[in-house]
Amino acid sequence: MLQSSLHPENFSHHYVTFNGLRLHFVAEGTPGAPLVVLLHGFPEFWYSWRHQIKPLADAGYYVVAVDQRGYNLSDKGGPYDVFTLSDDIAGYIEALGYSQAAAVIGHDWGGVVTWVFAARYLEMVQRVAVCNVPHPSTLTRTIREQYWPQIIKSWYMFFFQIPWLPEQMLSANNFQALSNALTVDTPGMVSIEEIDSFKQAWRQPMALTAMIGWYRALFQTRNLTGQLLTVKRPALLIWGDNDFALTTQTAEWSRDYIPGLRINYIRGGSHWIQQEHPAEVNQCLLDFLQSKSS
């Protein structure tokens, strides 16, 4: 059943400037309330959290959904390695007047940034939740152990290393490939009007090159394994097990890098789980945020 469309204009828009970048975010709730930061993935922007922002704010949180660097209305300036991207989240939190977030929640690439941020900035976050992306150390493990089911699913990451061609293909026919990526596995769940909002983000000058730049930087990034990336905060992984890009095995491997990791599987759910099953994801998040576990 199609969810009612939520337009970007239905949210409150803001900007912050730090480290020479002007970055965009939307916010709901009362400033000063416990802070929840939402991090989108590829090829999305803050809008991928449209079904979560207001319910989390209604539960008493100050909810900030960011456009990460290179995306939508945020500046298009590298570098795009995961360590710099995690530094940005610390910058957001401080710019908002907080020393610690109640939670950082990410999906896809936003989930990778969430894991790295939580490992590097332990004192700046109380707990973390991620939708459909494993801990980044599983990528190195996939290659080291030649785990072919995941290597095959990751073919596009290798394609994105080619200069300029990916941008040309993704923008062709009014961004048909990117539109299909968001809708093929979620029939009836993302409206035409909502896809138009994504297209507006993709049309921003230099946006596609910046977005793909995250993948190009990943292949040049070292030190994605080891104790320094161990996540030592209460952590939840919400996982749609019909993910076209990621195997469930990588979710299970994440337990090796996140002690006490809780995994909530949503059977039949796709990679775009928070847009496809918003009510179930919202309940998982609220149960986790309001739990007494440590």
Place of tokens 């416990």: 34
- Tell me if the bond preceding 234 is cis, omega within 30° of 0: no
Q: What are phi and psi of 97, to 5 degrees?
A: 90, 20
Assigned token pair, 256: 């090796």
Those residues whose C-beta lies under 8 Å from the C-beta of residue 58, and which sit 6 or more positions away, are none
Assigned token pair, 40: 């989108």
Those residues whose C-beta lies under 8 Å from the C-beta of residue 168, and which sit 6 or more positions away, are none
Enzyme catalytic residues: 108, 215, 271
Report the alpha-carbon distance of residue 64 to residue 49 in Å, rounded: 10
Assigned token pair, 267: 């059977």
167, burial (CB in 10 Å: exposed 0-12, middle 13-18, buried 19+): middle
Length of the chain: 294
The one-letter amino acid code at 5 reads: S
Check if the beta carbon of residue 133 is closer than 8 Å to that of residue 107.
yes
- DSSP category for residue 277: S
